[in-house]
Structure 1
């Protein structure tokens, strides 16, 4: 459980950012779902409800999602399903329970760069950008590799492309954290393979994606690509699974995901 010395509800992003950087232990609390799962003493908690960041907008070339949008909203959104298929819904629908998904926010999850995140690995397979108050707009991949500094994640953009995609995960129980998760997208002849919960943050299997792009998605090429991905990525061990198990199972999940975008 976390404790707060003070709490504020700013009416502008500028005010929120100014409060955030004023003291080292000031923090955005968002939906506070993940904060409740640990122990932390926060100076001023910054609550963003007055910034109107809970929305999904369907624009001409992209879908815009506010940082305070919950996982449950993502899960049930017809806008997302119509534009990107079921990959986003599939990535969030098994996370703990509906009550939990009703408070977990897009911004809190992406900004925290959780290694176990299902949503991040799904968005990484799509053409997704993030917008921060100070650092501005950048690709999700660039943000994930960016050194940490205090900022506000305000919204994300998912660019519309004529692509097919798939999300797969491995869990000990349906509502448990993933042992491993995988997402794949196919745009024209370009393939993108992403792996998360390694247990490090999600990343693109660059060599495997480059090998498969432009090639026929047959059994032989899919097997080769899954082996390349397991060789190029770094896997680790924790209480949920060993490095060796994750490495082997990554090939299985990648194959299953690729079969769905053929």
Structure 2
């Protein structure tokens, strides 16, 4: 359980940023769903709900998603169902329940880099960038790999292209946290294979992706790429599954994801 001394609803991002750095325990609030999983004392809780960051826009060749957009909005958005074979709505549709998805926010999930995040796995398979208030705009993969000074994630940008994608997950029960997540995508014969909930955060299997991109996509090529993904990534154990089980399932789900993308229109 977490405790809060005071709540601030800033009217500008600069006000929110200054408040965030006013005390080491000051925290930006998302939907608060995952804060409840731990124990934390927050001096000032910064609520961004007055900053109008709850939206999905389609300006030009990009999709822009505000940080306060909920998973439920992603799940039900008509354009996201049409693009990338609906990989983003599919990735969040089985998370806990509708009430939960109505409060969990995109920005909080991405900024926190949760290892169990279904959404991060799917986003990493697309051409996604994040925007930090002070850190600026950068590729999602770079954001996940590096540490940054305390900042506020404001928006996501996804290139609106013809990328075909597939999302796979393994769960003990339909609404449980995932044991393993897989996203596979292809654009202009360039493939991306992403594995999450290892239980570490989502990561691009770069060697496997490169091998698949340079192959003839035979059954042997697909088998080899799936094996490479298992070899190059690390896997751990937790209460939901062992490292050995995750490795075995990774190979199966990667092959399934590739085959699904090959059937996509």
TM-score bracket, normalised by the shorter chain, equals over 0.9
What RMSD, in angstroms, separates the aligned Cα atoms of the two structures? Answer: 0.8
1:13 corresponds in structure 2 to 13
2:247 corresponds in structure 1 to 247
Q: Per the alignment, in what secondary structure is the counterpart of residue 181 of structure 2? A: strand
1:181 corresponds in structure 2 to 181
Q: Per the alignment, in what secondary structure is the counterpart of residue 191 of structure 2? A: strand
Cα distance, 1:82 vs structure 2: 2.1
Instruction: State whether structure 2 residue 197 is matched by structure 1 residue 193.
Output: no
Cα distance, 1:34 vs structure 2: 0.9
4+ residue stretches of structure 1 with deviation over 6 A?
none
Separation in structure 1 between the aligned mates of residue 61 and residue 83 of structure 2, nearest angstrom:
10
Task: Give deviations 1:33-87, integer Å, cap 9, x for gaps.
Answer: 1112222110000000110000000121110000000000000001212222210
1:42 corresponds in structure 2 to 42
Task: Give deviations 1:80-136, integer Å, cap 9, x for gaps.
Answer: 122222100111000000000000000010000000000000000000000000110
Contact kept? 1:115, 1:196, Cα under 8 Å: yes
Separation in structure 2 between the aligned mates of residue 216 and residue 248 of structure 1, nearest angstrom:
24
1:210 corresponds in structure 2 to 210
Q: Which runs of 5+ in 2 are unaligned?
A: none
TM-score normalised to the size of structure 1? 0.98
2:260 corresponds in structure 1 to 260
Cα distance, 1:148 vs structure 2: 4.2
1:56 corresponds in structure 2 to 56
Separation in structure 2 between the aligned mates of residue 105 and residue 207 of structure 1, nearest angstrom:
32
Contact kept? 1:54, 1:67, Cα under 8 Å: yes
Separation in structure 1 between the aligned mates of residue 119 and residue 23 of structure 2, nearest angstrom:
30
Contact kept? 1:129, 1:138, Cα under 8 Å: yes
1:99 corresponds in structure 2 to 99
Contact kept? 1:189, 1:215, Cα under 8 Å: no
Contact kept? 1:75, 1:89, Cα under 8 Å: yes
Superposition pairs of residues 139-150 of structure 1, within 5 angstroms:
139-150=139-150
1:226 corresponds in structure 2 to 226
Cα distance, 1:161 vs structure 2: 1.7
| Count of matched residue positions in the alignment of Structure 1 and Structure 2 | 262
Separation in structure 1 between the aligned mates of residue 101 and residue 199 of structure 2, nearest angstrom:
22
Separation in structure 2 between the aligned mates of residue 260 and residue 209 of structure 1, nearest angstrom:
16
Instruction: State whether structure 2 residue 25 is matched by structure 1 residue 29.
Output: no
